[in-house]
Amino acid sequence: MIFLDTSSAIHILNGNESLKYVIDKFGTDKFGITSPTIFELYHGIYKLRFLKRKIPEQKFENLLEDLEDFIKQLHVFSLNERAANLGAKIHMELKGKGQEIDVFDCLIAAIIITNDFKQIITRNQKHFEKIKELVLYTLKKLYLTKNPIPKEVTKQLKNHLVKIDCELVKYVRWGRKKIYNNQCKRYTVN
């Protein structure tokens, strides 16, 4: 299961990437979304309607309908007591290190982790890269964190070109082999 966070879902809903393209790119139709992500998406639409732009009723209804259709295509994972506990722990650990991130991002990560998944598509690497248990992807390019890559991901990525983001990743652990990214080129993963 690969999860969409709020930033990637907004990117898709705004028409920047179609879900079909994302599915083709990642090679699976099993995408998940968390209840905090759904909250943030609805919150954004209601904010447009009542606070920010005060959009017309018809546009508001269309946005709600598009969001509902989008959510129906995904597997929804809800917040439970175990995930709430882990989310609070993640938030306080990061805050204690002076690396605090948004509470919703902690809840999203906790739901993913407590359901025994690790992969998330996000445009918000600065927050999610602080959570070591997650493997991050973007829609623009494949992004691998400094974290060890799970075996199931290496199987999916084998023989694909991987562009390493040189500003965020100095090297990627690939089993025991390190791929250094001094020139920011494309590498074929063997």
Going by DSSP bridges, is the β-strand pair 171-174/177-180 parallel, antiparallel, or unpaired? antiparallel
Percent share of the chain, pLDDT over 90: 46
Q: Residue 140: what pLDDT?
A: 62
* Domain residue ranges in the chain: 2-140, 144-190
DSSP structure class, residue 148: P
* Contact between 147 and 163 (Cβ < 8 Å): no
Tell me the residue type at 177.
K
Per the DSSP assignment, residues forming a β-bridge with 75 are: 32
Q: Is 156 helix (H, G, I), strand (E, B) or coil?
A: helix
Q: Indicate whether this model's pTM tops 0.75.
A: no
Per-residue confidence at 25, pLDDT binned at 50, 70, 90? confident
Listed residue (26, 178, 73) closest to 189, CA to CA: 178
pLDDT (tens digit, 9 = 90+) per residue, 55-84? 888 888 999 999 999 999 899 999 999 999
Q: Residue 119: what pLDDT?
A: 94
* Contact between 144 and 153 (Cβ < 8 Å): no
Q: Residue 150: what pLDDT?
A: 52
Higher pLDDT, 57 or 19: 57
Q: Indicate the CATH number for domain 2-140.
A: 3.40.50.1010
pLDDT (tens digit, 9 = 90+) per residue, 82-93? 999 999 999 999
pLDDT (tens digit, 9 = 90+) per residue, 132-185? 899 998 776 444 444 444 555 554 544 343 433 333 333 333 332 333 333 333
Going by DSSP bridges, is the β-strand pair 171-174/161-163 parallel, antiparallel, or unpaired? unpaired
* Contact between 9 and 33 (Cβ < 8 Å): yes
Place of tokens 């906790």: 110
Per-residue confidence at 14, pLDDT binned at 50, 70, 90? confident
Q: Residue 153: what pLDDT?
A: 52
